[in-house]
Each structure stands twice: as structure tokens, then as C-alpha cells.
């Protein structure tokens, strides 16, 4: 048992493990807690309330003038939405979208995880207006923030002990199955820290909306 157990722990701890204490961050601020605290922290970063809504902020982010919205579920922050204030034409939105894809891909804090960044790039000859209005195509790219710390060996050990009996741990045939399941557990944590963006249209102009999501706080039907 000890040999199998040690092999599983060694293989799994080579992958980064997440926990609910390691959540998505926006400008270094955890996307978590209560809305008033989040708004206060964002204002400390230079954002200010808009004239029509004190909880709706505006400022500069990644070289763009943007609006910032804090979204909650059960009073807990689960999303920061960041939308361009200004719209641009089709040529410029293609450039902006593709540049964002490359910026995320080249940022060591992120991984595409399930996709290749080239899958997101919009070709030069693609008619964005036609695709969005006629074919209802959504242009969006999804990235995942890497964890801040590597999980300790004990985290994986506890997971294994909680999910497998001593008999199963003694059975070498189950080793492969356990590795797959524990690795799946690790990878599931990665999906809780997603950052994605999409192209939206307003009065014939285009703009980017970005979402920093903490999936741990997102509604999953528990209130239904």
C-alpha cells in the first residue's frame, strides 16, 4: 500500500493543486468577500464611482478606459466585469481581441489549459459583423489563472484517504484509476479560476467585456 500511495502522491503533487483559499484575482485583489469591501479595494487601485451609480466604477485598465462592475451571489463577490467604455470599428476590434489573446498567452500567470491560443485568433479575412449578426457567432477566449502556491503533500494524501479504502489502496490494479481521479480533482480546481473575454456590439460599434470569475462563489442552483 505504501508504495502505491507514494507513487500516486508523487505524480499528483507534480501538478498544482487549488483550494478555495486560492481564488481568481483582479489586479491582485481576490474576487471574493463582500461587495462594499471589493469596491473600496478597487477605489484604492484608482477606480472611481460613475456619476449615475456609486457602485458602478470607471477607470483605466490595461491601457483602456473601462467600466468595472462587481457581481455577487448570496452577497459574496463571484465576478468582476470589465467593459471598454468606447466602441471601435471591426478592424480595430479584431486587432484588440487578438492582442488580448496574445497578452494572456504570454503572461506566465495564465494557462489556456483546454485550448490553444491560436484557436481564438480571428483571421484577417473574417467578416466579424456578418458572423455575429447572421450566424450568431460568439467571439470569446478563456484562460485560467495559475495558483499562487504548490499544494502540500498532505493535501493530496488527505484526498486519497477520504476517497479510497485501505483495500483499494492495497490493490495495484486500482492505482491507475486513482491517479486519474485525483488528477481530475486537481484539474477541477483549475477551472474555478477562469478569466474570459468576449466581443460585444453597441450601435454598430464593438467593444470588449472581460470577466474575472471565482467559480467557487457562483450560483449552482442551490437557491432553487
Domain ranges of the chain: 2-213
Residue range 26-51: average pLDDT?
96
Tell me what pLDDT residue 112 has. Answer: 87
Per-residue confidence band for 134, with pLDDT thresholds at 50, 70 and 90: very high
Q: Is the pLDDT of residue 16 over 50?
A: no
CA-based nearest residue to 176, from 162, 190, 164? 164
With a CB cutoff of 8 Å and minimum separation 6, the contacts of 91 are: none
Tell me what pLDDT residue 14 has. Answer: 44
Determine the 3-state secondary structure of 107 from DSSP: coil
DSSP state of 88: B
How would you label 165-194 residue by residue, b for 16+ Cβ within 10 Å and e otherwise? eeebbeeeebbeebeebbeebbbebbebbb
Most confident of 14-23, 109-118, 186-195: 109-118
Give the model confidence (pLDDT) of 178-201 as tens digits.
667 666 766 776 788 999 999 999
Distance CA 131, CA 139 (A): 9
Q: Is the pLDDT of residue 15 over 50?
A: no
Residue range 109-125: average pLDDT?
89
Distance CA 24, CA 47 (A): 19
**What are 133's three cell numbers?**
449578426
Tell me what pLDDT residue 205 has. Answer: 97
Cβ(210)–Cβ(195) below 8 Å: yes
Amino acid at each position: 500500500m505504501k508504495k502505491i500511495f507514494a507513487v500516486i502522491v508523487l505524480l499528483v503533487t507534480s501538478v498544482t493543486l487549488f483550494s478555495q483559499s486560492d481564488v481568481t484575482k483582479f489586479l491582485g485583489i481576490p474576487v471574493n468577500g463582500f461587495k462594499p469591501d471589493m469596491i473600496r479595494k478597487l477605489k484604492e487601485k484608482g477606480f472611481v464611482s460613475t456619476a449615475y451609480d456609486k457602485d458602478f466604477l470607471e477607470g483605466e485598465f490595461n491601457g483602456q478606459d473601462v467600466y468595472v462592475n462587481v457581481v455577487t451571489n448570496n452577497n459574496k463577490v463571484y465576478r468582476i466585469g470589465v467593459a471598454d467604455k468606447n466602441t471601435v470599428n471591426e478592424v480595430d476590434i479584431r486587432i484588440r481581441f487578438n492582442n488580448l489573446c496574445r497578452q494572456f498567452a504570454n503572461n506566465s500567470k495564465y494557462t489556456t489549459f483546454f485550448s490553444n491560443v491560436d484557436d481564438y485568433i480571428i483571421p484577417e479575412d473574417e467578416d466579424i459583423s456578418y458572423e455575429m449578426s447572421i450566424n450568431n457567432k460568439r467571439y470569446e477566449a478563456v484562460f485560467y489563472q495559475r495558483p499562487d502556491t504548490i499544494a502540500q503533500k498532505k493535501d493530496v494524501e488527505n484526498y486519497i484517504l477520504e476517497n479510497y479504502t485501505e483495500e483499494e489502496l492495497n490493490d495495484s490494479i486500482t492505482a491507475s484509476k486513482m491517479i486519474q481521479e485525483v488528477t481530475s480533482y486537481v484539474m477541477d480546481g483549475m477551472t474555478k479560476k477562469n478569466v474570459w473575454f468576449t466581443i460585444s456590439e453597441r450601435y454598430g460599434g464593438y467593444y470588449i467585456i472581460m470577466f474575472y470569475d471565482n467559480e467557487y462563489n457562483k450560483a449552482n442552483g442551490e437557491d432553487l
